[in-house]
Amino acid sequence: MTLRPDTTVLSAVIGVDSSTQSTKAAIVETGSGRLLAVGRAPHTVTGADGARESDPENWWQALRAAVAEALAESGLAPSAISGIAVAGQQHGLVVLDHDGVPLRPALLWNDTRSAPQAAALTAAMGPDGWLDRVGSVPVASMTAAKWMWLRENEPDTAAAAAAVRLPHDFLTERLCGVAVTDPGDASGTCWYSPAAGGYDPEVLALTGMRAELLPAVAATGAALAGRLTAAAAEALGLPAGIAVAAGTGDNMAAAVGLGLGAEGLLDHPVVSLGTSGTVFAATRSRPHSPLLAGFAAADGTHLPLGCTLNCTLAVDKVAELLGLAREDAAPGGDTVLLPFLDGERTPDLPSASGLLYGLRHTTTREQILGAAYEGAVVTVLRALDELPFDAPDAPLRLIGGGARGAFWVETVRRLSGRPVVVPDSGELVALGAAALAAGAVTGRDPVGLATDWGTGLGRELPALARDKATWDRVTSVLDRAAPALLSP
């Protein structure tokens, strides 16, 4: 994707997608939204038996490598870059010393060891109390539960913490030297209230969190957090002093990239198929459901979201066990496979394992793999009914790595019975972050920018007749199995 030498770029921005598995840095022309180059670098995730951790320094090194690769691929002079923003994996807990050095590896969103602490927090205020105060009921994924796990299991580390950050906060602070987050990512901590627009003092007291350890919350993800420091500029090969936006969480950035929000598409659901499976929408009303996270969007409006832990990686593991390629699948027939290989978040079964049901002599490997797809898709689509829609027949916007797989797309179409739009871009999180960076540079609304750029446009697929028999079979097994049969 090298830029032609005769192509003139007046200004470009960098949008960074720092996900669970890797960093992507997208260079985007500010005016047109042209994607000029993408650099990539992997992350290292460690842990077993529910533990999932990464060294935050690895994220910083990956960001440096991805930016360097993108600059080289684009052919741009660094002086063409005017801004940068980071979108990061949500919920992770980063604890730093007084010099900004991590005290331990970050606890990631899919680390389920904090399930007992989440249950204790829920009991302390009751599900309705949590929904009223912060919009979400604690589960193992949420940052507040991870902080409680740290306090109980590593009290010396918790006591030594001079700062507590989310993954994207950590990287933003490295860029501009300012401790700042945004309403979207902050809303995934369980100690920030989107309704009140600030950290909730009762939750802070309950969790033993001191407000001074937390970053300030910018008005939006496109707000100017600061300017690129000389040290960060030298590390990245970029001009010092360029704009650094506050950034946001990965799901919020994807919503920006799709043009969802007050000046874009309202009540249009998104299904994201990645390491996790998510469904979310920019909505007019605030949700009140224990099955949803009542997140804020990057602009501070509502972005209710349902999330599962097991999606593409779990299905890929099933394919590996069967000796099949990803696309070597067929509809599951009588077979049901619930691929809860890493526990599950929705439904809230952190100790769950996978379940295979309905095998026959006639069952094929391809049907077993297809049943894994069906189990993953049904689990995430069940959250659709919880979203407060005004447009229940709006097409699903299908994003994430799974949206590039033909069997994933057809399984979603078959089990949802709804039209599907598959955006042409596979880098919506990075593009959303780029729109936030462009917003910080130009003062324009990032959702409006992304809409003008057309980053959410793509193939429009008509609705298929809903496969109600498969839906009923999977949901019946799920409802009967959870939680008793899925607990070890």
For position 347, what pLDDT does the model report?
A: 84
Catalytic residue among 250, 299, 342, 445: 250
Total structural domains within the chain: 2
For position 363, what pLDDT does the model report?
A: 97
> How much is the average pLDDT of 268-286?
88
Contact 11, 82 (CB under 8 A): yes
**pLDDT per position as a tens digit, 367-388:** 999 999 999 999 999 988 888 7
- Fill in the amino acid letter for 168: H
Q: Do 175 and 274 have their domain in common?
A: no
Q: Which of 232, 258, 284 is the last residue of a domain?
A: 258
Phi–psi pair at 233, nearest 5 degrees: -60, -40
Angle at the Cα of 456 (from 454 to 459), degrees rounded to 5? 105
Q: Do 178 and 303 have their domain in common?
A: no
Q: Do 391 and 275 have their domain in common?
A: yes
Residue 263 lies in a domain: no
For position 2, what pLDDT does the model report?
A: 38
Residue 278 lies in a domain: yes
Q: Do 243 and 276 have their domain in common?
A: no
Q: Do 241 and 274 have their domain in common?
A: no
**Domain range for residue 383?**
270-426+457-486
Residue 443 lies in a domain: no
For position 394, what pLDDT does the model report?
A: 82
Q: Is the pLDDT of residue 487 over 60?
A: no
For position 390, what pLDDT does the model report?
A: 63
> How much is the average pLDDT of 19-25?
95
For position 263, what pLDDT does the model report?
A: 59
Q: Which of 230, 258, 286 is the last residue of a domain?
A: 258
Q: Do 26 and 87 have their domain in common?
A: yes
For position 6, what pLDDT does the model report?
A: 38
> How much is the average pLDDT of 379-407?
87
Residue 451 lies in a domain: no
Residue 435 lies in a domain: no
Residue 442 lies in a domain: no
Q: Do 214 and 277 have their domain in common?
A: no
**pLDDT per position as a tens digit, 321-367:** 999 999 999 999 999 999 999 888 888 888 888 999 999 999 999 99
| Token representation of residue 404 | 């590039």
Q: How many CB atoms lie within 10 A of CB 375?
A: 27
**pLDDT per position as a tens digit, 137-192:** 999 999 999 999 999 999 999 999 999 999 999 999 999 999 999 999 999 999 99
Q: Do 157 and 217 have their domain in common?
A: yes
Q: pLDDT band at 1, cuts 50/70/90?
A: very low
Phi–psi pair at 172, nearest 5 degrees: -60, -40
Q: Do 241 and 308 have their domain in common?
A: no
Closest CA relative to residue 82, chosen from 188, 233, 257? 233
**pLDDT per position as a tens digit, 67-109:** 999 999 999 999 999 999 999 999 999 999 999 999 999 999 9
Q: What distances in angstroms separate CA 372 from CA 365, 376, 416, one per listed residue?
A: 11, 6, 16
The Cα–Cα gap between 380 and 292 comes to 11
Q: Do 88 and 234 have their domain in common?
A: yes
For this structure, is 342 an active site residue?
no
Q: Do 61 and 184 have their domain in common?
A: yes
pTM for the full predicted model = 0.89
Element (H, E) at 205: helix 201-207
Q: How far apart are the first and last CA of the chain?
A: 48
What is the CATH classification number for the domain harbouring 139?
3.30.420.40
Q: Which of 226, 258, 290 is the last residue of a domain?
A: 258
For position 287, what pLDDT does the model report?
A: 80
Q: Do 414 and 309 have their domain in common?
A: yes
